[in-house]
Amino acid sequence: MNLADHPNEPVATANDKKAKALLKKLGVLKKLEDMAAHKRELPSRIVRLDLWQHPTHWITALRYVGFKRAEDNGFAVRCQPKSIVTREMFKSQLEAETKQEFTQGYTQIDYDLPP
């Protein structure tokens, strides 16, 4: 999917194959895989990568790793249109998620994301 073709639509998937394809297209799949590969104290965790510089969407990429059931591990991605969700709304949402459940959150600053 090309997010620029859907600038006013939210896009989200927890389907591992679709999420990986989108993250690969955005050029961040390897980074998220590498981030999740680092050994941490918790046996299972969710690693989050926030992308702020995409031209049309605020993007949250997730990697679930270390869970006992294979189907509980994998990738997910959520893309929120900047035409609807303000920067402050996105920031507030990420802060709330960090307090509630995410053990590791990262922001990537990359000005050359594909549309």
At residue 111, the pLDDT reads 45
- pLDDT tens digit sequence for 41-90: 667 788 889 999 999 999 999 998 888 899 999 999 999 999 999 999 99
- Domain locations in the chain? 3-108
Q: What value does the mean pLDDT of the chain take?
A: 84
| CA separation for the pair 41, 16 (Å, rounded) | 25
How far apart (Å, rounded) are the C-alpha atoms in residues 43 and 3?
34
Q: Is the pLDDT of residue 33 over 50?
A: yes
Q: Would the CA dihedral through 60, 47, 102, 13 be positive or negative?
A: positive
Query: Average of pLDDT values for 89-108?
Result: 71
* Number of residues in the chain: 115
Per the CB < 8 A criterion, the answer to whether 61 and 90 are in contact is no
Is residue 39 exposed (0-12), middle (13-18) or buried (19+ Cβ within 10 Å)?
Answer: exposed
Low-confidence winner among 15-19, 96-100, 107-111 (lowest mean pLDDT): 107-111
